[in-house]
Amino acid sequence: MLNSQERSSSISSVFRGTFIHSTRETALQIREDELLGVDADGKIAFIEKGAELDRLSQTFGFSPTEVTQLVQHEFIMPGLVDTHIHASQYSYAGTALDMPLLQWLNTYTFPVESHFKDLQFARRVYSQVVKRTLRNGTTTACYFATIHTDASLLLGQIANDFGQRAFVGKVCMDRNNFVKHYKETNQESQAETCRFIAELLNKKYPLVRPVVTPRFAPSCTGALLGQLGAIAKKNNLHIQSHISENIEEIKLVKELFPDSESYTDVYLKHNLLTDKTVMAHGCHLSDEELVVFRETGASLSHCPNSNISLCSGILNVRNVMKHKVKLGLGTDVAGGYSSSMLDAVRRTLDSSKVLTIQDPEHVTLTFEEVFRLATLGGSQALSLDDQTGNFEVGKDFDALRVNVAAPGGPIDLVQPEKPKILLEKFLNLGDDRNIVEVFVAGRKVVPFTEPTTE
Ligand code: GUN
Ligand code: ZN
């Protein structure tokens, strides 16, 4: 039992107002006039009815005058989880969208990524992408960096400095027949991955972790894939890569790995499908392959902007859900041109509607379901749902304070609206002007407090 002094020091902030989040059971739970308390470790200490203020203030030892009251048109929702973003590609986001995947990689992506040997350039781009995504409400990001270990470590440092929860992957590739200087030897890739993991873990950043990152099967030899599977297992680490994004890519995988039954089988054989794996795209996976995802606990990152921008395909999210495969949303910058997860929400809804146009039997996703994918779904896909994704007591307070009628913002409200309408308007029409504060593990990270040089 805590004494009253311990209790008072254990609560760092209390909010009162409307909270909107998802649970396993319901895509949308709206809790009006509730009190949410955050403890000194940034964890949710309580979320209860506003009428319980007196009891809660006594039990937890805070003064009712310290409570932050949300104003009209405001609500608090969980932070957005971007399950797949290439931090290094942010420099050309919004351009170069005129080619299919393999040509796009060779023409634009590999030449740009090779510049990240230059740490000054890396610092500039990585500071920009971390700040931009935080402002847009991405409290957790799963990043691809480049093959360069020191620049990848710098990305980890920058995410930590700005307070973003992040997985950072040093990209591994020992095969590149087009841009020949942008690859590693097998030895280098293994040794540098081990150095990257050791040095990042050694920094003891509370919210930043390494993720083992074979780029995708066509840019890795079978030997490297197997070694990376072993490294992930030995260190109990997350794994990320790409799968079945585009038809030409799938054909190439068949040619390069003739002994494998499917693209999924390539990763399975090399021990790269675990319950800590997230694979981007999966547009063309068969039902049999989805069963393997389900059985291994591996998840998918749905990246609709990229899927459309590179004319890769359209993932049938409903079918993925039917197979009970964990699923989150990703921006996939710069194949996806927007770094905002609000765009990923909108493109997910659009893609689902296209599937309904093609097949009227298809059951279109609702905005409530997509809201869950962008928050709790993302945290499940990254196996972080014991720590973040919604407002359960004991989880970290990763949250957005949203004002739908923010002055100078993009939304006009003609009349007071109910919370569900406010959320729908924000998801469809809102932007960073509506995200007035962002919290990660209880710390206010937006507006920025650090002096910025960018
Ligand atoms: N497959 C392999 N590398 C990439 C990449 O950088 N972006 C996308 N969209 N797909 C990939
Ligand atoms: Zn990608």
* pLDDT for position 177: 84
Residue 84 is encoded by which pair of tokens? 């797949």
pLDDT score recorded for residue 178: 84
Sorted by sequence, the CB contacts under 8 Å of residue 65 that are 6+ apart come out as none
**181, two tokens:** 């200087």
Task: Check pocket membership of 335 for ligand 1, CB cut-off 6 A.
Answer: yes
Name the pTM for this structure.
0.97
Residue type, 129: V
How far apart are the CA of 213 and the centre of ligand 1, in A? 12
Q: State residue 2's pLDDT score.
A: 47
pLDDT of 449 reads 84
- Residue 61, pLDDT score: 96
Q: Which of 122, 10, 83 is nearest to 379 (CA)?
A: 83
pLDDT of residue 450: 58
pLDDT tens per residue, range 185-216: 999 999 999 999 999 999 999 999 999 999 99
Check if the beta carbon of residue 232 is closer than 8 Å to that of residue 278.
no
Q: Classify residue 114 by burial, with Cβ atoms within 10 Å: 0-12, 13-18, 19+.
A: middle
Structural domains of the chain ordered from first start: 4-78+391-446 (2.30.40.10), 80-381 (3.20.20.140)
Q: Is 332 in the pocket of ligand 1 (CB under 6 A)?
A: yes
Check pocket membership of 242 for ligand 1, CB cut-off 6 A: yes
Expressed in angstroms and rounded, the spacing between residue 165 Cα and the centre of ligand 1 is 22
Are 232 and 211 in contact, with CB atoms under 8 Å apart?
Answer: no
Beta-sheet strands, E only, within 244-320:
277-281, 299-302
Q: Please, which residues have CB less than 5 A from ligand 2, an ion?
A: 280, 332
Residue nearest (by alpha carbon) to ligand 1 atom 3: 215
Q: How far apart are CA 373 and CA 380, in angstroms?
A: 9
Alpha helices for 27-106 (secondary structure H) = 53-60, 101-104
Tens-digit pLDDT string for the chain (454 aa): 444 444 445 999 999 999 999 999 999 999 999 999 999 999 999 999 999 999 999 999 999 999 999 999 999 999 999 999 999 999 999 999 999 999 999 999 999 999 999 999 999 999 999 999 999 999 999 999 999 999 999 999 999 999 999 999 999 999 988 888 999 999 999 999 999 999 999 999 999 999 999 999 999 999 999 999 999 999 999 999 999 999 999 999 999 999 999 999 999 999 999 999 999 999 999 999 999 999 999 999 999 999 999 999 999 999 999 999 999 999 999 999 999 999 999 999 999 999 999 999 999 999 999 999 999 999 999 999 999 999 999 999 999 999 999 999 999 999 999 999 999 999 999 999 999 999 999 999 999 985 555 5
